[in-house]
Amino acid sequence: MATPSLSWFCFVILLCSAAAEALEGGFSVELIHRDSPKSPFYDPSETPFQRAEKAVRRSIARVRGLRSNDEGDPSADITRVDTDYLINITIGTPPMSIVAIADTGSDLIWTQCPPCKNCFPQVAPWFNPRASSTYAQVDCKSDKCKVFDQSNCSSQGSTCQYSVTYGDKSYSVGNISTDTVGLTTLTGSAVTFPGMVFGCGFDNDGLFSIHTSGIVGLSPGDASLVSQIGGDEGTLFSYCLVPFFSTSKSTSKLTFGSDAALTGDVVTTPLILNSPGPYYYLTLEGISINGKKFEVSGSSGLGAVPGNMVIDSGTTLTWLPSNLYGQIVQAVSEAISLPIVTDPIAGNSLCYRSSGVLKGAPSITVHFTDADVVLNWYNAFFQFKEDITCFSFLPTDDQPIYGNLAQMDFRISYDLTLNNLNFEPFDCAA
């Protein structure tokens, strides 16, 4: 797959004007954690620690999906789809509600459509193109067919088709189409975008859930939601993730437009957008434990090179280069005097006999280029069992990832005009 470009444009004048009007001042929508009461995955019989264990297992599986393909193009497989956050959208006229995976590592909006040759089971009805007065298929010779790199002409005619395979070998095949896509804001108003490009999937299989109907891509790719919103405002979005064990009824939120700009205690680092894959990359320079800095070293993709770390809202844990992790975990273990216990899930994390606030947790600062991000203790430690708390960083010899536990209680703003990413400490449950 070719590297996603940043040709942030609208496909038709109608879409540009609608987006500009909708984004005046910006708007926010809910990001629903899959283990929260608002999620269709929510099981009230599960304990918080059972949900925590499931989140860690998803993170381990997802990082495997981000590994490079040693036998070919390292960007041939897109990240695993089993992510932590969901988003509600509507497609069509009249609008049909769809619960989809919100994924910063995917660059296409798609949902299941009849006639399905091979579709995974889902609780909600399929989106029916014939029931929408604004639906249209895309001709394979049109510019809209070129918006997604993995599209081509169908064998039956001039219809534009897409084919995407994820890192866990799940896949979706279907028609590139256009229709009105809508979002409901936190204030209850509807924001609609006519003529938005999306995939109508008729052959979809793999490790998808019955509770979702597709994916909403939030990557820098031209076919993603953030790209297609268009206009000057459409190149700025942010999210604020509520901590995992928060007792607040507040949900995480995703904000588009000028409201996504940060004005508080902000640190800024460059976004690297020309690396392989539909991802957002940062440059990790090192990590400090109680003021002692340990720097990234080496000349490989895991070393101190631009774009050496993916920031991913769909991965729970943070994965560090193995050589850096070894130094960090040694410094953390020296700082905490609590009894060390065996990691009950991942098998190789530093874990302590502890519940609640971790006593003696060291101060941890993550150093990105031009941005020092000071973490809260719960950004770096995660309670897996009632009496076991573990370090939420793990080693990898593949792609390092800055996970969502490290991002919670920060407003994180993506400025795709200036190509930078901004961090602001914030109470996301407020």
Same domain, 123 and 36: yes
Same domain, 225 and 266: no
pLDDT reported for residue 274: 67
Place 348 in a pLDDT band, splitting at 50, 70 and 90: low
CATH code, domain with 383:
2.40.70.10
Domain boundary among 210, 240, 270: 240
With a cut of 90, say whether residue 409 has pLDDT above it: yes
pLDDT reported for residue 14: 33
pLDDT reported for residue 64: 57
Place 373 in a pLDDT band, splitting at 50, 70 and 90: very high
Residue 2 maps to a domain = no
The more confidently predicted of residues 154 and 369 is 369
For residue 250 the two structure tokens come to 């507040």
For residue 394 the two structure tokens come to 């793990």
pLDDT reported for residue 166: 78
Percent of the chain with pLDDT over 70: 83
Same domain, 233 and 283: no
Q: Which of 165, 10, 5, 197 is nearest to 75 (CA)?
A: 165
Instruction: Give the β-pairing of 280-282 and 284-289.
Output: unpaired
Q: Which of 77, 82, 103, 168 is catalytic?
A: 103
With a cut of 60, say whether residue 74 has pLDDT above it: no
In the three-class reduction of DSSP (H, G, I as helix; E, B as strand; rest coil), residue 129 is classed as helix
Same domain, 348 and 405: yes
pLDDT reported for residue 303: 73
The more confidently predicted of residues 346 and 98 is 98
Q: Which residues lie below 8 Å from residue 273, measured CB to CB, with a gap of 6+?
A: 4, 6, 220, 280, 281, 416, 419
103 is catalytic: yes
Residue 44 maps to a domain = yes
Q: Which residues lie below 8 Å from residue 167, measured CB to CB, with a gap of 6+?
A: 62, 64, 65, 66, 67, 77, 78, 79, 80
pLDDT reported for residue 157: 72
Cβ pair 34, 244 in contact under 8 A: no
Q: Read off the pLDDT of each residue in 67-74 and give the average, rounded to a whole number.
A: 37
Same domain, 356 and 223: no
Domain boundary among 240, 274, 297: 240
Same domain, 22 and 152: yes
Q: Read off the pLDDT of each residue in 188-198 and give the average, rounded to a whole number.
A: 93
Residue 253 maps to a domain = no
Residue 153 maps to a domain = yes
Lowest mean pLDDT among 238-242, 356-360, 412-416, 423-427: 356-360
Residue 316 maps to a domain = yes
CA-CA distance, 319 to 366, in Å (whole number)? 13
Residue 249 maps to a domain = no
Lowest mean pLDDT among 105-119, 162-176, 219-233: 219-233
Residue 4 maps to a domain = no
Same domain, 62 and 173: yes
Q: What is the chain's mean pLDDT, rounded?
A: 83
312 is catalytic: yes
The string of pLDDT tens digits covering residues 257-270 is 888 999 889 999 99
The pTM of this model reads: 0.85
Same domain, 99 and 219: yes
Q: Which of 84, 312, 409, 415 is catalytic?
A: 312
Task: Convert 231-261 to b/e letters by CB count within 10 Å (16 or more is b).
Answer: bebbbbbbbbbbbbebeeeebbbbbbbeebe
Place 8 in a pLDDT band, splitting at 50, 70 and 90: very low
Same domain, 226 and 290: no
With a cut of 60, say whether residue 236 has pLDDT above it: yes
Q: Read off the pLDDT of each residue in 43-55 and give the average, rounded to a whole number.
A: 76
Q: Which residues lie below 8 Å from residue 72, measured CB to CB, with a gap of 6+?
A: none
Residue 362 maps to a domain = yes
Cβ pair 349, 390 in contact under 8 A: yes
In the three-class reduction of DSSP (H, G, I as helix; E, B as strand; rest coil), residue 379 is classed as helix
The string of pLDDT tens digits covering residues 375-388 is 999 999 988 888 88
In the three-class reduction of DSSP (H, G, I as helix; E, B as strand; rest coil), residue 42 is classed as coil
With a cut of 80, say whether residue 299 has pLDDT above it: no
Percent of the chain with pLDDT over 90: 50
Q: Read off the pLDDT of each residue in 194-220 and give the average, rounded to a whole number.
A: 91
Q: Read off the pLDDT of each residue in 78-92 and give the average, rounded to a whole number.
A: 74
pLDDT reported for residue 22: 47
Give me the number of domains the chain comprises.
2
With a cut of 90, say whether residue 408 has pLDDT above it: yes
With a cut of 70, say whether residue 398 has pLDDT above it: yes
pLDDT reported for residue 69: 38
The string of pLDDT tens digits covering residues 52-64 is 777 777 666 666 5
CA-CA distance, 118 to 112, in Å (whole number)? 10
Q: Measure Cα distances from 77 to 124, 166, 372 in Å.
A: 28, 5, 32
Same domain, 234 and 267: no
**Mean pLDDT highest for which of 205-219, 240-254, 300-314, 352-366?**
352-366
The domain of 140 spans: 13-240
Same domain, 318 and 186: no
The more confidently predicted of residues 248 and 131 is 131
Same domain, 199 and 146: yes
Domain boundary among 207, 240, 273: 240
